[in-house]
Structure 1
Amino acid sequence: MDVETWDDEAGEPMRAVGYVVDEDRGSLPYRLVHGEALVAAAAWAMGEAGIDLVDVTVPWHVVADLGRPVVLHDPLCPMTPPDFIASCVRAAAARDVVVVGVRPVTDTVKEAADGRLGATVDRDRLAALASPVVLPARVVAALGSRPEPDLLALVERLRSSGPVELVEAPPAARRVASDEDLRVLEALTDPR
């Protein structure tokens, strides 16, 4: 399932590189899902998707100079299927756009003003950030430093400067925010 984009200069395929972004997420990324830490499950998915993991200690300019797409995977979406990650990388490379995995919003969302609830927001206009966030090589080259660990802020910033394609992620890619969410995710992704 290797994710390869074509390197026209070298005349050969090249693989995307990526990070499992665990900074500023507290201890939750180190809780277990199916007996593995969330960060380990996320790293496994990246490897299965054909992404070469990069250590955060590698200077950003070294990563940018590779001329490859960069995949940012949130360990709070630990069960994101490798084939979905790979399809996001292929889409980002083929269309030269940032590609972001999202989930539909199912909660009722209300507008609020002056401490009062207002109209219900149309959920079809909303999306919940999931994983991955894939930066095509052109965007990687334009960044002066490694992207911030707040992926929502990153996506908002990138949307203000160019095209960002939101792709609906499968249910297994749902984000966890608590131990209860982890129990639901384990039940949803039970391999038995």
Structure 2
Amino acid sequence: MNEYDELPDVFGVVLADGRGSLPFALIHGESLVACAAWALGQSGVTPLDASVGWDSVQEAAVPFVLHDSLCPMTPAAFIASCVRRAVDDDVVVVGVRPVTDTVKVVRDGLVGETVDRAGLLAVASPIVLPVQVVAALEAAPGEDLAALVSRLAAEHPVELVEAPPEARRVASADDVRLLEVLTAPSA
């Protein structure tokens, strides 16, 4: 028995809408969206497609996972651990990564001081909604993960969990190439 066998029934989706063509770029010879779907399935989550309505998800009364296709190499074990934490602690769990880019304040069109990035985090994957949050949402969570986290944090306990480096979000073909090098199997 492994940690995936111990998970309760869990549904989830891989988000690809509104992300342009990047989810269909290749990494290790497979599309980003396919890699994300495999990780979701390997984690013990039952992947759903877009044809399943939110009312059906709510009727199932199970936790729900949102996994971004732009975080395609998120390890299945990390997704499973986030599900476990959401179930055990009855909190929304959000995978995040530290911000490494320089961030500047802009006022009236002028670039100002540098923001201390020590307090900044970027939403990554997954976002796990416990059963009580699934039941409370009037509509499907949507595709904008940062907006979803802000909305959820106003009404529910949210726990931020640092995702491993391979769970980083890609925003360009250059990012995909970098992630491919980072996740290349060792010889």
TM over 0.5: yes
- Give unmatched runs, 5+ long, in structure 1: 6-13
User: Following the alignment from structure 2 to structure 1, what is the Cα–Cα distance between the partners of residues 53 and 125?
Assistant: 23
How many residues get paired? 184
For residue 3 of structure 1, report the CA deviation from its aligned partner. 5.9
Question: CA separation in 2, counterparts of 1:40 and 1:104?
Answer: 25
Matches within 5 A, 1:26-65: 26-65=20-59
Mapped to 2, the partners of 1:55 and 1:115 lie a distance apart of 43
Aligned to 2:113: 119
Matching of residue 169 in structure 1 with residue 178 in structure 2: no
Q: Which residue of the other structure, out of 75, 79, 84, is the alignment partner of 2:73?
A: 79
* Aligned mates of 1:67, 1:118 — CA distance in 2: 48
Q: TM-score, normalising length from structure 1? A: 0.92
The structural deviation recorded for 1:119 is 2.5
Q: Partners of 1:29 and 1:99 in 2: how far apart? A: 23
Report the Cα distance in structure 2 between the residues aligned to 1:156 and 1:4, rounded to whole angstroms.
Answer: 30
Q: 2:4 corresponds to which residue?
A: 2
State the distance in 1 between where 2:150 and 2:6 align: 27
Deviation at 1:135, TM superposition (A): 0.5
Q: 2:91 pairs with 97, 106, 109, which one?
A: 97
Supply the AA of the counterpart residue of 1:182: V
Alignment correspondent of 1:132: 126
- What is the alpha-carbon root mean square deviation over aligned residues? 1.2
8 A contact 1:69–1:134 mirrored in 2? yes
Structure 1 residue 118: Cα displacement: 2.5
The SS at the match of 1:117 is: strand
- Residues 65-94 of structure 1: CA distance to partner in whole angstroms, max 9, x if unpaired? 111110000000000000100011011111
Equivalent position of 1:110 in the other structure? 104
SS state at 2:65 partner:
strand
Q: Which residue, out of 143, 147, 151, partners 2:141?
A: 147
Moved over 3 A (4+): none
Deviation, 1:163, is 1.6
Which residue does 1:10 correspond to in 2?
Answer: none
| 1:117 maps to amino acid | V
- Runs of 5+ in structure 2 lacking a partner? none
The offset of 1:164, in angstroms, is: 1.2
